[in-house]
Every structure is written in structure tokens, then in C-alpha cells.
A and B are shown apart, each in its own frame.
Chain A
Amino acid sequence: MPTISFTVNGTRRSVDVRDPEQPLLYALRNTIGLTGPKFGCGLGQCGACTVLLDKTPLRSCITPLSAVAGKSITTIEGLGTPDKPHPVQAAFIAEQAAQCGYCANGMVMTSAALLASNPKPSETEIKDALSANLCRCGTHVRIVRAVMRASGRTPA
């Protein structure tokens, strides 16, 4: 059984898999026990499964494990905790930018990646960055405000 090694939230992990084409999402959730990334579509369309590959958002539901061998992955659990949230997570809490919260993983991870590369995005840039992340509860207004807040601006 092949073993695939990669780094998750700073810790080296080795996962035994029969099928190296198994999407990363299932290894994270079931083998490693990080359930922050969510299964939403399995098609890379909604963003609920988003993790960071180095600093870039990655759809873990369609990324084969073989593609992350030797790479460094960050999940939402690696950003911060309820007690010590990442600034993006703190801003989501301050703006109460989650209803059911199922999409929140993708929103937080994509926003964190955006701010890492563009610390003061415009509202349009925020919306564009999140354009392929779907929310059904209609939390969009708060999510955009949260990203503005995380970038150090007071939301209007």
C-alpha cells in the first residue's frame, strides 16, 4: 500500500492509501481527523472543502493525494482556534459571518489567502476572490464585511 507524506498544519503526516488518487479531503477528515474542511460537492464547485497549498486555496475534494506528496497543507484548524483565532476568524466572529456555517471553512480559507497576498483588497476584489465559494444561507454581506474588518478597515 503506497504511503504518501505531506505536511499538515506544520506537522509531517504519512498516510497509507491503496489509491493515491483518493482526494485529499477524505484523508484529512477520516485519517488525520481534521473535519474543518467539508464535503460540499466533490466537484470543486462550491469551496466548502478548501485548504491552502502553501498559500494558495486548493479544493481538497478534487485534489488527489498524490498531488500533495511532499507539499505543505494548511487547514482551517491550522489557522487558529476558538481561543486564539486567526485575524480572519476573529473578524468572522465579530461580524457573526456564519449562519449554518457549513461554507465557513471555504470562506475563511479563501479570505485568509486573499489577505496574505493582498492585505487591503477593495470590496470588488473581495467579491471576486470569493466568487467561486457558495453560501446558501445568504451570509454574503457579513462575509464581505468580515474580510474588510480583517484587513484593518472598519466595515461601512
Chain B
Amino acid sequence: MNAPFDLQMSRRQLLKAGGALVVTLALPLSARATEQVLRDKRGNAQPHALLDKTLDVSAVDGFIAIHQDGTVTLFSGKVDLGQGLRIAIRQMAAEELGISVDKIEMIEGDTALTPDQGPTAGSTGIMRGGVQIRQAAATAREALIAMAAERLQKQPSELIVQDGAVRPKSGGGAGVSYAELVGGKRFNLKLDAKAPLNNPTAYRIVGKPLLRPDVPAKVTGTHTYVHDVKLPGMLHGRVLRPAGDGAQIISVDESSVKKFPGVKIVRIGDFLAVAAPDEWDAIQAAAALKVVWNDTGKLMGHDKVEQWLRSGPFDGEETLVNKGNAAAALQAASGKLSASYYWPAQTHGSIGPSCAVADVGARQATIYTASQGTHRYRPAYAQMLGLPNEAVRLVYVDGAGCYGMNGHDDAAADAALMSKALGKPVRVQWTRQDEHGFDPKGPPQALTLEAALGPDNTIAAWRTEMWLPRATASLPTVPLLAPQTAGMPQPKGISTGLITQNGDPPYQVANVSVGVHWHDSAPLRPANIRAPGKIANIFAVECMTDELAAKAGIDPLAFRLQSLKDARGAEVIRRTASLFGWEARAAGAGAGSKTNQRGRGIAYSHYKHNETYVAMAMEVEVNRASGEIRVLRVACAHDCGLIINPDGLRAQVEGSILQTISRSLFEEIRFDTRRVQNVDWASYPILTFPAMPEVRIDLIDRPTMPPLGGGEAAASPVAAALANAVWDAVGVRLRTVPFTPERVKAALASV
């Protein structure tokens, strides 16, 4: 076939071999080598977009190539960040194509090779990305059957696909392999939205807990992460972060790093970095470089954020939900409840600080990045480098888990700017302090809720008010640090993810209003973090629901069921109750008097009100003396429609639960007027093994329903279930995250 697939095959061989040596060999994908390929073909250097592989999302060839040996390559715009898409999307395609998953390779997030399927965010990997590729596979299968029918002189209805071939349904007879039909050729076919999908009752691959192909290499140290990418002549870069938010350089003493061989300093405006052939030299030079920054001191400090959020002036007000007349109903009700909640800024907390490798030439650039959105970020780099979009190629390589936009895209910008300045490939490895200090943070959220019961002990009226930073409309990407400090133009604004959803109860309530007071800024640069906004919103909503149940004197689980009309929602609650061993009783509210008091809580989430259903029950133990909370066990029933890979889904649910327990119990970014203060794991603790609870999960498969997102939804009810369990145990309502021992003790003291 043509050049791109040759390239593809070479990359496949290389990545299969794994490890650092291989990455050195991965040169054929670098800018120079690609240039070489295209020069050979066309006589002069051409941008990457002229590679012959189509990126058209409406074309089968955008997503699928069948090679001469009958193997298949999938081109996925969605990437595997550790969430298992690498097997799940293969399963979806394999099921429709009638071929085993081990005959399928998958290329992810390469702007020269994979269609733009949107960023890998919002738990959309399967429900959007996988579904699109599944449709491409179904279209391809129908085309293969049609081709075979012609060749075999049969009707399409007489044929089936099996093991990479089209065969007669009955009567035996020779089939014809995909390789014979289209091996090495294009389909030249539009995606057919009506191409029939296989009947779920006949699924043989979807629904099976197939093993992820990347795990063996990951646990033997041979998996290639972006941190391991090594190009010939590559320099190691370190960026010096400003001493304060927005600080400017007053002076740099270049002589302070003279003793390190080959060290180069890159300074563009207030972007300051060092590079050296040896990584340790670069690290030491970064530490040794004498730089004087001006003193900005313009941050508000973490302890002022909630007050700032709740105070005007606001950039706007918005009514999100307005049903019935909440204000009148609340006024008329007796015994109205009211409560305020706060969720602080948090870091994504990737275990590996962000890293990227860039190889920027005069006419084109290749950037190896762990980005969730290679297509989305490409224009930002092109603008920064002064290159046309199509001359910049982003190649996704696995990073450490990011759970939203961490520093990966910034590291890529750092590396690109440095590579352009130095004329060599540059690898930029962020430090731990960089990652905690400068990754874009999950935005802070403040909420106040009011609600009241009606005479029948159901929820009669509800009002949620939110105070939030507003995502700037049409902002193409999170603004990047490198162009910002370098004084280069880039679209201004903030990005938060969709943080207003699930602010209203998922139960039948006649009078509901949800409104938000918008700010046009945030104290630290914000970005989406896992289940953006929803965890805090459901924390508030489900705690209020619990308080209403207690006021009604009703078991909190039964209270939820009595006004929940959605059958799938009711089922996850019932199945959680059964998994947990929930005994019906009204919440204890701290009736016990032991030092170590146990309690149980429940929360429910219908993610975004139109996606996955999750219910979660927790048992906690609260030490009244120390204020320490231990989560003892978690039970979760989860319904995301059709399950592609139950073990992969289970891993996502487990992970989301544990990570969100960590965020709820321990995590808050603290900052003074200059910069983030807790920039290591000692000062920003996360969940450790001794604190890990028992986790039980019940996955509800709905083979005839569309597959929905798995991970984020499971995170969404965690803080609420935890807080409700604490209340059951010791009778205090925790309304501010994290639930530190100091907060617990203070709350206990005020009861």
C-alpha cells in the first residue's frame, strides 16, 4: 500500500518491541523522517497533512485499514489514558468486523493519522469515540459482505463474517478473506449511520472481560511512556517557574550555570528554561540559575476563595432550572432546611509529573505528548511556533494518568518553544513541584441549598444557588503557560469543564430552581478535573436529600426511592442496598457515644441527568477524639447501559471511587498571595493503601441500551455518600471539603 501504512507498520513493530531502545528507533515518526518520506515521494518537504491517510470522520478509511496480511489497524481519536479504551474499542470493532481482537492494532491520538473525535474527556471514550468506530466497522462489514457476495456469486443474506473472512452461512463452501477483498486497499466509503449493528444476543467479544494489551508491558517496565521517548540529539529541558503568579523576570545571571557542560538558557519574555544534553546537568542548572523575579503577591490565598466566590460583583447570573415556583413554595413551607457547601481547588495529582518531547524544525514540528486532545491543541502550538496547522503533528504517547487536563499540554508547549529556540529535539520533564504548583486546577465551587418537605413527607420545594467561575465561551484550549510567560498571543479566558450539572435533585420535586452567580476568573488557572463540578453538586444535593429524609424520619434509602420515578435509577439504589446489606432505619445522627463510631450513608447520581446511573453506600468509622474518618467499605451499583468490557469498567469504577474518597478526605490546594504552597505529597496527601476500604461493585449490563460513560459517573456520588455516613455516625454535617480531622473535631465541638 502507500506510504502512510508503511509508516504505520514500522511504528507498530517498534512499539511492540517496547522500551527505551525502541523509542530511539522510533525516529521514522519524527518530523525529519516524515519529511524524508515525503521528499522521496514528492520531491520536496510537505506538511504532514499531505500523508495519504484520510482523517475524515465520515469515512470508513478514517478509522479502519485492513492490511495485506488480513490484520486491521484502527485509528482512534480517543486515547487510552489508563481507562482501558485500548481493549474496549478493539472489542467494539472486532465484534462488528468478525475478527479477533488480537488481529487488531490501534493507533491513538496522532494528528497525522487519527480522525478528530474530540478530546478524551467526559467519559466519552466509548460512548462517542467507540460508538463511532463501531459504526465504521459495521459499515466496513457490510461492504465486505457485498464484495464477497459478488465474488462468490451469492446473496449477501447468505453470507456471514467470521475470523476475518466472509463465508456462506450454511452448506460449507469456501469463504473469502478480508485480505483478499481489501487488503492494503481503501474502502472509499462513507460511514453509514444505518449500517446494522450485530444483535447483542449474539455478541461474542463485546461484554467479555478481555485482558488489556498494555498491562504486561506496564508491569514489566517495558511500556513506552512519553517520559521514555528519546530522540537522537535530544536535550533535556527544565523550565524555571515564576516565583509568584504572573511574576516577571528582573534579571538572570547566566554565569551562574557556566559550570554545567553544554547548558543552554532559553529566555523568551518571562519564559525561562535551561537545557542540557544530560538530564542531571539540566536539573542542577535549573536549580543553580540565579534569577530575580518581581514580587506580585496578587493571589487572594486559598482561605479567601469561598468568601470571594460568594461576594460580588458577579460577571453574570444564570437560571439553570426553573420548575414550578420554588421561591413561593419555600416561603410557604414550614421547617425549611438550608445549608452551604464548598469544594476547594484540587490538583489532578498525576503520579508522573507532566512530560513531552518536541522536535521543531524550520518548516514542521512533531510533538510527542500525553495530551487528551491532540487535535484540539494543535492550533495552539502552530500559532506559538509560527507554523501552519498542518505542519504540526502531535503524537499521543501514554503519560501518567491525568484525570482531566493536568500539565501535559503545558509541558508540550514548553518543549516546543525550547526545541524551536535551540534547533534540537527537547524533552521537558516537569518536577513534582511544577505539577502540584502549576497544573491547571479543578475549579473551586460554592453552593447554598434550601429545601422543604411537603405535608406528605416528600420534597416540596428546592433551590440551589451556585457561585462559580464561568468557562469562557468558545475558548479553544486551556491557555498555556509557555506562550503566556513568553508574551505570545493566545486566546484568553478560563476553562472549567461543565461544572453546573446535577445541581438539582434527581427526584420528583414540583418546585425547583437552580441558579448560578458567575465569576469571569478563578484564583488559580482552572481546568476540567474528573467529573467536573458534579461531585461537589451531588455532594450538596444528596446531603440535603439526606437531611430531608431525617427530618421526615424516614430511612434515607426509602426516602429516595419514594420520589424516584426512573426505573433504572431505582434499580441501582435497590441493588446497592442489597450489596451493602442496608437495613432500613432513619439515620442515626450520632446517637451512639463510642469513641470510634460507625455509620452508613447512601447517595445516588443520575450523571448529567441523562447518562449513567450510580448508587453508592458507604460505611465509615469516625474517631471522635482524633477526628479521623476511615471509610471501611463501599458498595456501588452502576448502570452505564451496554457494558463493553466488564473488568475494564469495574477498574474504572473502583478507581473513581478511591480517587474521589481521596479528594473528599484529604485534598485542597493551598496558596498564599504568591503561589501554591503544598507542592509535594507530604503537604498534599492522597489516599494510601492502609486507608483503602473494601469495595464491592455490581455492574448492571443493558445489552440493548447505548453504552455510556463509566468512570466519571462513579466518582460523582462519593463525597455525598461519605458525608452522609459521617452524619449517621456522629451527627455532624461536613459541608466543606476536605473532611480533615480538624474540621471533624471542630464540627463535633459545635454540636
Contact = CB atoms under 8 A, between A and B. Distances in A.
A136 B284 contact: no
Interface stretch (B415-423, B552-560, B687-695): B687-695
A76 B218 CA distance: 10
A67 interface: no
A98 B223 CA distance: 12
A102 B214 CA distance: 12
B222 A138 contact: no
B692 A141 contact: yes
Contact of B432 (A43, A96, A99, A143): A43
Instruction: Bin chain A's interface residue count.
Output: 35 or more
Contact of A141 (B84, B217, B218, B658): B658
Contact of A96 (B228, B280, B647): B647
A46 B223 CA distance: 19
A126 B218 CA distance: 21
Contact of B222 (A23, A77, A127, A141): A77
A5 to B, nearest CB: 18
Q: Which of A23, A41, A80 has the largest count of B CB atoms less than 10 A from its CB?
A: A41
A134 B227 contact: no
Contacts of A23: 280
Contacts of B662: 138
Interface string B210-223: 01101111111111
Contacts of B689: 126-128, 130-131, 133, 140, 143-144
A26 B279 contact: yes
A45 B439 CA distance: 19
Nearest to A130: B689
A6 interface: no
Main secondary structure of the interface of A (DSSP, over half): loop
Given A96-B647, A142-B654, A46 B351 contact: yes
Q: Which of A48, A79, A138 has the largest count of B CB atoms less than 10 A from its CB?
A: A138
A36 interface: yes
A85 B215 CA distance: 12
Contacts of B223: 101
Interface stretch (B291-299, B396-404, B587-595): B396-404
B401 A100 contact: yes
B432 A138 contact: no
A22 B218 CA distance: 26
Contacts of A80: 220
Interface string B636-654: 0000000000011001101
A99 B351 contact: no
A116 interface: no
Nearest to B435: A41
Given A23-B280, A138-B659, A42 B432 contact: yes
Contacts of A108: 219
A85 B82 contact: no
Contacts of A41: 353, 432, 680-681
A63 to B, nearest CB: 13
Main secondary structure of the interface of B (DSSP, over half): loop
B320 interface: no
Interface string B46-85: 0000000000000000000000000000000000011110
Contacts of A148: none
A134 B680 CA distance: 12
A34 B230 CA distance: 12
Nearest to B661: A138
A86 to B, nearest CB: 8
Interface in A124-154: 124, 126-128, 130-144
Interface string A49-80: 00000000000000000000000000111011
A11 interface: no
Interface in B601-653: 647-648, 651-652
Contacts of B730: none
A40 interface: yes
Contact of A33 (B21, B81, B225, B352): B21
Contacts of B692: 127, 140-141, 144
Contact of B352 (A40, A45, A127, A139): A40
B682 interface: yes
Contacts of B214: 101
A127 B680 CA distance: 22
A101 B218 contact: yes
B300 interface: no
A38 B401 CA distance: 13
A33 B695 CA distance: 39
Interface residues of B, number: 64
Interface in B418-473: 429, 431-432
Nearest to B647: A96
A103 B351 contact: yes
A39 B351 CA distance: 9
B284 A85 contact: no
A93 B219 contact: yes
B374 to A, nearest CB: 17
A56 B682 CA distance: 23
Interface in B192-242: 211-212, 214-225, 227-228
Nearest to B658: A138
Contact of B216 (A30, A76, A85, A131): A85
B105 interface: no
Nearest to B260: A18
A38 B681 contact: no
B654 A141 contact: yes
A99 B219 contact: no
Nearest to B401: A100
Nearest to A103: B351
A108 B583 CA distance: 40
B277 to A, nearest CB: 10
Contacts of B403: 136
A40 B353 contact: yes
A35 interface: yes
A101 B215 contact: yes
B432 A127 contact: no
A92 B219 contact: yes
Given A100-B82, A101-B82, 16 more contacts: A34-B221, A41-B680, A43-B680, A76-B220, A77-B222, A92-B219, A93-B215, A93-B216, A99-B401, A100-B399, A100-B401, A127-B692, A131-B689, A139-B651, A141-B692, A144-B689
24 contacts: A23-B280, A29-B279, A36-B220, A40-B351, A40-B400, A45-B432, A48-B351, A82-B217, A85-B219, A89-B219, A96-B651, A99-B84, A99-B401, A99-B651, A100-B399, A101-B215, A105-B221, A130-B689, A132-B688, A136-B686, A137-B659, A140-B658, A140-B687, A140-B692
Interface of B: 18-21, 81-84, 211-212, 214-225, 227-228, 261, 278-281, 284, 349-353, 398-401, 403, 429, 431-432, 647-648, 651-652, 654-659, 662, 680-682, 686-690, 692, 695
Interchain residue pairs A-B with the least CB separation, the first 4: A36-B221, A101-B218, A138-B658, A100-B82
Interface of A: 17-19, 22-23, 26, 29-30, 33-43, 45-46, 48, 75-77, 79-82, 85, 89, 92-93, 96-105, 108, 124, 126-128, 130-144
